[in-house]
Amino acid sequence: MRFSRRLLMAAGLSVLGTALATSSARADLYGESAVADSATGVTSLQTITINSSAPSGGVLGGENGDTFYAEYQTALSTSAAGTGATTYTSYCVDLAHTIPGAFTQLDNNPFGGAPAGPLPLTNTFSSGTDNGQNALTAFGQAAYIANNALTTLGVSSLTDIQRAGVQIAIWTTEYGTGSNFTFNGTTLTSGVMTFSGNVAAETVAATLLTNLYTNSGSASAYWVDYVSVDGAHAQHQLITADTVVIQSVPEPTTFAIAGLGALAFLGYGWKRRNRS
């Protein structure tokens, strides 16, 4: 009988340990990026004209030279149907692909492995990611711009125009040719990219870019990376590091294992009480 009690206790410890180890078990995450709208508190979408030879293939908002939206949002869910989705302000870091029209599985481990778990908090695109002229350093610079926008601009919250300025600054550092940009009040130029159409947003972008290059800034942010299907990527988005982002949830089997562990301990305690 003593052996049986010990065996029961050992089994309970083993099962509980398994439950604890798998409490962050695989849980696929899905996302849907879209142009921001009134549902997120954005009352007036900001647009910008991009004249560029940098992006290739499809681009957000239209072909090169057309009007681009400069405010985006990303909804995250643990369900492909978007059940219980949480929506965040996000920034586009990929001009070469269109935004998905429905919830699409995310590759939450773009540096290798299965698409599972929470969003990666990183300061670089994975090797081989073709996003801009400065692909390897661009994500860290974009993260620095977005993470420090409030401090750089001296505000407690961003207006629509300021968010558009953040977006323009991100596109500039990503697809431009370094810090040799100029701002003349009507256009912001950086290598192969020219922005026009919203002077106020361009002024914000110039301030953010000056701060970035003065401090040689780089930081980490959440990378929303959509799973490639037949080589066709949906879109890359960035969510700032100080945002509370949805994490993975345990699989149903994890809860079942935890329940078995609890029953094992309860059974052992009941038998011990009866014997005493």
| Cα separation, 276 vs 271, whole angstroms | 9
Which candidate, 59, 116, 58, places its Cα nearest to that of 248?
Answer: 116
Residues forming beta bridges with residue 35, ordered by sequence position: 72
Question: How high is the pLDDT of residue 221?
Answer: 96
How far apart CA 161 and CA 148 sit, in angstroms, is 16
Output the six-digit token pair for 260: 């078995």
Domain assignment present for 24: no
pLDDT of residue 24: 42
**Residue 50 pLDDT:** 78
Q: What is the predicted pLDDT for the residue at 82?
A: 93
Domain assignment present for residue 89? The answer is yes
In-domain check, residue 15:
no
Neighbours of 83 (CB within 10 A): 10
- pLDDT of 42: 56
What is the residue range of 185's domain?
30-239
pTM over 0.85: no
24 is written with which tokens? Answer: 């962050």
Do 174 and 143 contact (CB within 8 A), yes or no?
no
In angstroms, the CA 116 to CA 37 distance is 29
Helix (H, G, I), strand (E, B) or coil at 204: helix
Q: What is the largest CA-CA distance in the chain?
A: 88
One digit per residue, the tens of pLDDT, for the chain of length 276 reads 444 555 444 444 444 444 444 434 457 889 998 888 655 555 567 888 777 665 555 566 665 567 788 889 999 999 999 999 999 999 998 887 777 778 988 888 777 776 777 888 999 887 666 565 556 678 999 999 999 999 999 999 999 889 999 998 998 888 765 444 554 444 465 456 677 777 888 889 989 988 998 898 999 999 998 887 656 677 889 999 998 886 655 554 444 444 444 444 445 455 555 555
Tell me what pLDDT residue 63 has. Answer: 57
Domain assignment of residue 85, yes or no: yes
Residue 276 lies in a domain: no
Question: Considering the domain boundaries, does residue 188 fall inside one?
Answer: yes
At 66 the pLDDT is 72
Q: How many structural domains comprise the chain?
A: 1
